[in-house]
Amino acid sequence: MPSLVIVGAQWGDEAKGKIVDVLGNQAELVVRYSGGNNAGHTVITGGKTYKFHLLPAGILHPGSVSIIGGGMAVCPKSLIEELERTQELAGHELGELVISPAAHVVFPYHRALDALEETARGDNKIGTTSRGIGPMYTDKVQRMGIRMGEFVQPERFADRLKQVLEFKNRLMELLGGEPMSFDEIYSEYSAYADKIRHLVSDSEARTQRSIRKDDKVLFEGAQGAFLDLDHGTYPYVTSSHPTAGGACLGTGIGPRDIDNVLGVCKAYNTRVGEGPFPTELDNEIGHQIREQGHEYGTTTGRPRRCGWLDLVALRHAARINSLSGLVITRLDVMQNIPEIQVATDYLVDGKSLGHMPYTLEEWDQVEAVFETMPGWSEDISCAKSWDDLPETVQNYVQFIEKFTDTPAAILSIGPDRDQTIILRPELIWG
């Protein structure tokens, strides 16, 4: 049962897309399990740059099947545009795409509500990607969402949309927005449904069959551990479950169907949007990391907040995801920083907190404790193996492994497929 979950072990944008692409050609099935087009996964290959938001990054491999899992939030308009864009850019046949009938559909009223709710939050805004993701998952929990399986049945869709829109229009008016027209949404979205109906089929049975056949199945996470609705820095989180447990909920498998979990982390930390970030560097070094790493959001273009690697958080991510191994990315970006710091403890009132903060008040009081390590000036982006790396880089990697009690499986030293060093293949497919 070689099945592998790839999760973000920080606040998103750890380079999950690149890693899924690198391993995707070995997989029969690549399944995305949570989030929607709030995600932006960049894959650079053959001189072309792909930005995936809804499509699993495995779609570039014609031999594999890509699944949009039931845990996802799918904007059909973006999906169709993304499919067309990817097809055109690739210039070759893409892998087969299957959409779960259980996936929920994002509508224009979700996007409108995302903006209205952010305005209503005022100074406490979350800094969402404004893709309507939060309001869509709210509908799911409120048992009001429209699922793909209903969306592609014209009469059922009309009934559901009528019922939901009446409620949403009242809500939008309450928040100072304009009501939306049933006829306009129905006619625009019915056309989208016509275009994707043939892709909607029982993805759960397909995934379970592959698992039973011992196919290689790769579960592609979006977002990151600390954006998880339950495990993240609540309320500054997304509304889904990016952690490895989400791979079960969002695809129709059980925990014993997962063999390995790889947690992707940068050699430092970044975060987009608001919320706690104890190792943030609001100074020249933060600026240097942002510029050397081109740290601007794939989805929204916002500058990412940058900071030192937070090992307290990373160790926690290793535990909540039961990580088999780490994928440490963007090591090349740390070039020419004379001294590197890593957070090894959280203090509150001068005492070690001993756990991850549960409340914003606790997060506000947290003071990170740092250890300092020597940096490196060498360009490591062409290294082919562990032995090609300077000792300073090796020591940095080993310090991370030891502190988190998690071995490094893969190192990434540049955005290209080739700039990848596989250290422990046994941690990937078992």
- Active-site annotation, residues: 13, 41
Q: Which does 295 bind (CB under 5 to 8 A by kind): Mg ion, ligand GDP, ligand IMO, none?
A: none
Residue 13 or 21: which CB sits closer to Mg ion?
13
Where on the chain is the footprint of ligand GDP (CB under 6 A)? 8, 12-18, 40-42, 44, 293, 298, 329-330, 332-333, 412-415
Name the minimum Å distance from CB 356 to ligand IMO: 18
CA distance 292 to 409: 25
Asked if 54 contacts 83 with a C-beta cutoff of 8 angstroms, the reply is: no
Q: Which does 272 bind (CB under 5 to 8 A by kind): ligand IMO, Mg ion, ligand GDP, none?
A: ligand IMO
300-339 footprint of Mg ion as x/- string (CB under 5 A)? ----------------------------------------
Q: By beta-carbon distance, which residue lies closest to ligand IMO? A: 273
Asked if 95 contacts 66 with a C-beta cutoff of 8 angstroms, the reply is: yes
Q: Which does 126 bind (CB under 5 to 8 A by kind): Mg ion, ligand IMO, ligand GDP, none?
A: ligand IMO
Name the minimum Å distance from CB 268 to ligand GDP: 11
CA distance 348 to 357: 10
At 170, give phi and psi (nearest 5°).
Answer: -65, -40
Where on the chain is the footprint of ligand IMO (CB under 6 A)? 8, 12-13, 38-41, 126-129, 131, 133-134, 222-224, 227, 238-239, 272-273, 298
Q: Which does 58 bind (CB under 5 to 8 A by kind): Mg ion, ligand GDP, ligand IMO, none?
A: none
Name the minimum Å distance from CB 298 to Mg ion: 4
Residue 18 or 231: which CB sits closer to Mg ion?
18
CA distance 379 to 335: 7
Q: Which residues pair with 371 in a beta bridge?
A: 342
Structure tokens at 268: 């430092």
From 156-164, 209-217, 297-305, 404-412, give the range in contact with Mg ion by CB under 5 A. Answer: 297-305
Overall size of the chain counted in residues:
430
Residue 223 or 341: which CB sits closer to Mg ion?
223
Name the minimum Å distance from CB 370 to ligand IMO: 24
Residue 149 or 293: which CB sits closer to ligand GDP?
293
Name the minimum Å distance from CB 187 to ligand GDP: 34
Name the minimum Å distance from CB 240 to ligand IMO: 8
Residue 8 or 307: which CB sits closer to Mg ion?
8
Across 335-354, b (16+ Cβ under 10 Å) vs e yields: eebeebbbbbbbebeeeebe
Sole binder of Mg ion in the list 207, 298, 412, 419 (CB under 5 A): 298
Residue 8 or 278: which CB sits closer to ligand GDP?
8
Name the minimum Å distance from CB 98 to ligand GDP: 21
15-54 footprint of Mg ion as x/- string (CB under 5 A)? -------------------------x--------------
Q: Which residues pair with 48 in a beta bridge?
A: 45
Q: Which does 134 bind (CB under 5 to 8 A by kind): Mg ion, ligand IMO, ligand GDP, none?
A: ligand IMO
Sole binder of Mg ion in the list 9, 11, 13, 210 (CB under 5 A): 13
Q: Which does 220 bind (CB under 5 to 8 A by kind): Mg ion, ligand IMO, ligand GDP, none?
A: none
Residue 148 or 225: which CB sits closer to ligand GDP?
225
Residue 12 or 307: which CB sits closer to Mg ion?
12
CA distance 266 to 305: 13
Name the minimum Å distance from CB 268 to Mg ion: 15
Residues engaged in binding Mg ion (CB under 5 A): 13, 40, 298
